């Protein structure tokens, strides 16, 4: 489940006085005389999961009907670029915003929504508003006080239309003018960008003398707006200026060039920070917990709202086949507090709601795995695998097949193959997420031995097993691993260190191949949360599972259960090797 951040509520409570009418019954959280922390605690204690998730959602104006606001407890609305009531007067804008606000205030708790817009060089979406020079021209002035006055003027014009939040300033350091957004950057010199963060007190108001570092501040009244430092971090440093692409730079370089203005913005009480679409050294910023939570929140002590960019969650497209529910988890886990969805809010809400359930399923997958072999001897274990390796092979019919890992009784009676049957994460996707971004993953469903030998893999993970079945369709007298699974095991293992993961509804014939397999894992039928397999294979968690049923040597022994006179299993009932979680690298 997404963790509702205190900042959102603190932020919104600031607007309660402005937005909420009189309330009959006294509600502490609505009392502006109460300390902010008391009001937040009171409000949080009253909120349901759905109300909390709703507060994390920002939708576009075109879908923000009062009914939607009420039904989904939506916390914020935005005008995307150009999304404006046609040639609207200030009065029309105020009415537009207020009509949406009425929907938000009609909810059980009456939490007001906050409306945001790109006022990046004046109130630039609005007919007849003053349009100031874009940031590149303002960088020429090197005049922080001029920029602050522009912020003050912009805030007045924005509030005149009933809007209290702007997605500005962009504090990108554009290092390559081939970038299409270079004019939104004040300068290539981060010191100029730092100086011109003075627009933030222009927009939000000067910090009171006793304000705490990192705590957002927007002056009360109707002349200031919440600001948004964007796009965190490194948006202006992408390779060849390709928009939303990859910023390849050392941490030192990132901190010296692209980060300094965020220190200034936070010191000046910026209310929100927007995450960049770009990646840093191959890791999407929208999924970068180290930089969003670890650095921005924990190291720089930012206590405002971290907001995604427009469909920023949807653009988390790695690992391969990452589906939307994976992206929701990755974004919220990274530390994004509010998601600029902006249209498919029901899917986002469902995924975040069931995230909790998916986490539960993932835990169950981890605990259901049984480690049957781990290297040739106890002092030379293969698992857990290193996350950092030059090149690894993932192979097998069941590595990238959600239907196979779910088995029978899934969507249909007999179950299905493929990845379209429902949403979830395949074992391959889980592996791709788990490994270091520098590790190259080659996926091949049924590679031949020459391919394996020619590629000098660090190690291989072979995922094979049974196709889905139910009832009589699963009756099987030989219990062999169906082809191409067996060929994949023989082609891969023996040429490279291999971990074989068996996805099956029962023990299968494996004894004849065991000597060439370095590590063997029984995964049974793990379901939609395939990343639970990677969690344990790569040591985020240890193996703990014990066989709930005997693993036979040959089918001629069957039936054979613990306690039988002829009991001579390959792996006995209750068997299972254990591993400790890997020390974090
Ligand atoms: C865009 C931009 C961002 C803007 C947002 C809302 O994609 O990257 O700067 O604030 O969407 O319009």
Is ligand 1 within 6 A of the CB of residue 181? Answer: no
**Residue 189 CA to ligand 1 centre (angstroms):** 23
CA–CA distances in Å: residue 388 to residues 36, 303, 355, 441, 521: 45, 33, 28, 11, 21
Residue 275 has pLDDT above 90, yes or no: yes
**Residue 127 CA to ligand 1 centre (angstroms):** 20
342: its two tokens: 């902006």
Is ligand 1 within 6 A of the CB of residue 310? Answer: yes
Which ligand 1 atom is the nearest neighbour of the CA of 311? Answer: 7
Residue whose CA lies nearest to ligand 1 atom number 3: 309
Mean pLDDT is lowest, of 96-105, 409-418, 430-439, for 430-439
CA–CA distances in Å: residue 372 to residues 34, 129, 229, 524, 554: 60, 70, 52, 13, 16
Q: Percentage of the chain with pLDDT > 90?
A: 84
Residue 48 has pLDDT above 70, yes or no: yes
Distance CA 21, CA 36 (A): 19
Which ligand 1 atom is the nearest neighbour of the CA of 231? Answer: 9
**Residue 342 CA to ligand 1 centre (angstroms):** 11
Is ligand 1 within 6 A of the CB of residue 232? Answer: no
Is ligand 1 within 6 A of the CB of residue 118? Answer: yes
Q: Percentage of the chain with pLDDT > 70?
A: 95
Mean pLDDT is lowest, of 32-46, 155-169, 420-434, for 420-434
Instruction: Quick: pLDDT tens for 353-395.
Output: 888 788 899 999 999 999 999 998 888 999 999 999 999 999 9
**Residue 142 CA to ligand 1 centre (angstroms):** 25
Q: For the chain, give the number of residues.
A: 585
Instruction: Band the pLDDT of 19: cuts 50, 70, 90.
Output: very low
564 catalytic? Reply is no
Instruction: Band the pLDDT of 2: cuts 50, 70, 90.
Output: very low
- What sign has the CA pseudo-torsion 550, 552, 555, 561? negative
* pLDDT, position 211: 85
Residue 585 has pLDDT above 50, yes or no: no
Mean pLDDT is lowest, of 12-26, 40-54, 309-323, for 12-26
* pLDDT, position 299: 94
Q: Residues 471, 564, 568, 580: which is the catalytic one?
A: 471
Instruction: Band the pLDDT of 71: cuts 50, 70, 90.
Output: very high
Q: Give the neighbor-by-neighbor strand order of the sheet with 246-247.
A: 246-247, 279-280, 283-284
Which ligand 1 atom is the nearest neighbour of the CA of 312? Answer: 7
Distance CA 468, CA 525 (A): 9
**Residue 445 CA to ligand 1 centre (angstroms):** 40
- What sign has the CA pseudo-torsion 291, 294, 298, 300? negative
Residue whose CA lies nearest to ligand 1 atom number 10: 167
Which ligand 1 atom is the nearest neighbour of the CA of 80? Answer: 12
Across residues 123-127, what is the average pLDDT?
90
Is ligand 1 within 6 A of the CB of residue 235? Answer: no
Residue 438 has pLDDT above 90, yes or no: no
Q: Tell me which of 60, 77, 79, 118 to substitute to probe ligand 1's pocket, judged by most ligand atoms within 8 Å of the beta carbon.
A: 118
* Strand, helix or coil for residue 558: coil
Which ligand 1 atom is the nearest neighbour of the CA of 81? Answer: 12
Residue 54 has pLDDT above 90, yes or no: yes
Is ligand 1 within 6 A of the CB of residue 81? Answer: yes
Instruction: Band the pLDDT of 82: cuts 50, 70, 90.
Output: confident
309 catalytic? Reply is yes
Residue 18 has pLDDT above 60, yes or no: no
| Most confident listed range (128-132, 205-209, 506-510) | 506-510
* pLDDT, position 323: 77
Q: Residues 184, 198, 235, 309: which is the catalytic one?
A: 309
At a CB cut-off of 8 Å and minimum separation 6, what does 382 contact? 374, 375, 459, 497, 499, 518, 519
* pLDDT, position 433: 85
Residue 14 has pLDDT above 70, yes or no: no
Identify whether the C-beta of residue 511 lies closer than 8 Å to the C-beta of residue 517: no
Structural domains in the chain, CATH included, are 118-303 (3.20.20.300), 369-557 (3.40.50.1700)
Instruction: Quick: pLDDT tens for 156-183.
Output: 999 999 999 999 999 999 999 999 999 9
For residue 32, what is the DSSP state?
T
**Residue 340 CA to ligand 1 centre (angstroms):** 9
What is the pLDDT of the chain when averaged over all its residues?
93
Residue 11 has pLDDT above 90, yes or no: no
Distance CA 219, CA 206 (A): 8
Cis-peptide into 384, omega within 30 deg: yes
Q: Tell me which of 60, 79, 81 to substitute to probe ligand 1's pocket, judged by most ligand atoms within 8 Å of the beta carbon.
A: 81
**Residue 231 CA to ligand 1 centre (angstroms):** 9
């Amino acid at each position: 489940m997404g963790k509702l951040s205190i900042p959102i509520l603190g932020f919104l409570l600031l607007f309660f006085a402005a937005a909420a009418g009189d309330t009959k019954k006294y509600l502490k959280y609505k009392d502006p005389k109460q300390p902010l922390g008391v009001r937040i605690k009171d409000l949080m204690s009253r909120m349901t999961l759905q109300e909390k998730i709703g507060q994390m959602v920002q939708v576009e104006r075109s879908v923000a009907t009062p009914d939607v606001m009420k039904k989904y407890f939506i916390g914020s609305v935005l005008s995307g670029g150009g999304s404006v009531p046609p040639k609207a007067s200030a009065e029309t804008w105020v009415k537009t915003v207020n009509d949406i606000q009425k929907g938000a205030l009609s909810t059980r708790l009456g939490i007001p929504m906050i409306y945001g817009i790109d006022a990046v060089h004046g109130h630039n979406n609005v007919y007849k508003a003053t349009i100031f020079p874009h940031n590149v021209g303002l960088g020429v002035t090197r005049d922080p006080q001029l920029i602050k006055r522009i912020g003050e003027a912009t805030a007045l014009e924005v509030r005149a239309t009933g809007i209290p939040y702007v997605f500005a300033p962009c504090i990108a350091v554009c290092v390559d003018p081939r970038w299409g957004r270079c004019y939104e950057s004040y300068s290539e010199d981060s010191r100029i960008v730092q100086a011109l963060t003075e627009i933030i007190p222009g927009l939000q108001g000067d910090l009171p003398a006793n304000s705490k570092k990192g705590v957002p501040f927007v002056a009360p009244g109707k002349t200031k707006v919440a600001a948004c430092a964007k796009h965190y971090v490194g948006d202006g440093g992408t390779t060849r200026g390709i928009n939303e692409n990859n910023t390849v730079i050392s941490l030192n370089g990132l901190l010296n060039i692209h980060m300094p203005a965020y220190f200034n913005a936070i010191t000046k009480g910026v209310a929100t920070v927007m995450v960049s679409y770009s990646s840093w050294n191959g890791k999407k910023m929208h999924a970068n917990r180290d930089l969003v939570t670890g650095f921005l929140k924990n190291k720089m002590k930012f206590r405002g709202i971290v907001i995604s960019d427009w469909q920023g969650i949807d653009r988390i497209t790695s690992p391969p086949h990452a589906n939307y529910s994976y992206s929701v988890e990755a974004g919220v886990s990274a530390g994004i507090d509010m998601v600029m969805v902006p249209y498919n809010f029901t899917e986002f809400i469902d995924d975040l709601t069931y995230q909790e359930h998916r986490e539960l399923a993932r835990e169950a997958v981890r605990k259901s795995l049984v480690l049957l072999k781990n290297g040739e001897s106890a002092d030379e274990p293969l698992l857990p695998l290193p996350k950092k390796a030059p090149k690894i092979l993932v192979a097998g019919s069941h590595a990238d097949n959600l239907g196979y890992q779910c088995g029978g009784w899934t969507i249909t009676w007999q179950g299905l193959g493929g990845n379209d049957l429902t949403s979830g994460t395949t074992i391959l996707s889980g592996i791709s997420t788990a490994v270091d971004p520098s590790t190259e993953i080659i996926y091949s469903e049924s590679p031949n031995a020459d391919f394996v030998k020619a590629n000098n893999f660090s190690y291989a993970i072979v995922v094979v097993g049974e196709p889905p079945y139910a009832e009589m369709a699963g009756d099987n007298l030989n219990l062999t691993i169906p082809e191409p699974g067996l060929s994949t095991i023989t082609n891969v293992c023996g040429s490279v260190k291999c971990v074989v993961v068996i996805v099956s509804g029962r023990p299968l014939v494996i004894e004849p191949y065991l000597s060439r397999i370095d590590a063997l894992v029984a995964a049974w039928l793990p379901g939609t949360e395939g990343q639970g397999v990677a969690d344990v294979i790569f040591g985020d968690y240890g193996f703990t599972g014990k066989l709930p049923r005997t693993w036979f040597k040959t089918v001629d022994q069957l039936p054979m259960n613990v306690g039988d006179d002829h009991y001579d299993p390959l792996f006995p009932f209750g068997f299972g090797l254990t591993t400790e979680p890997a020390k974090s690298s």
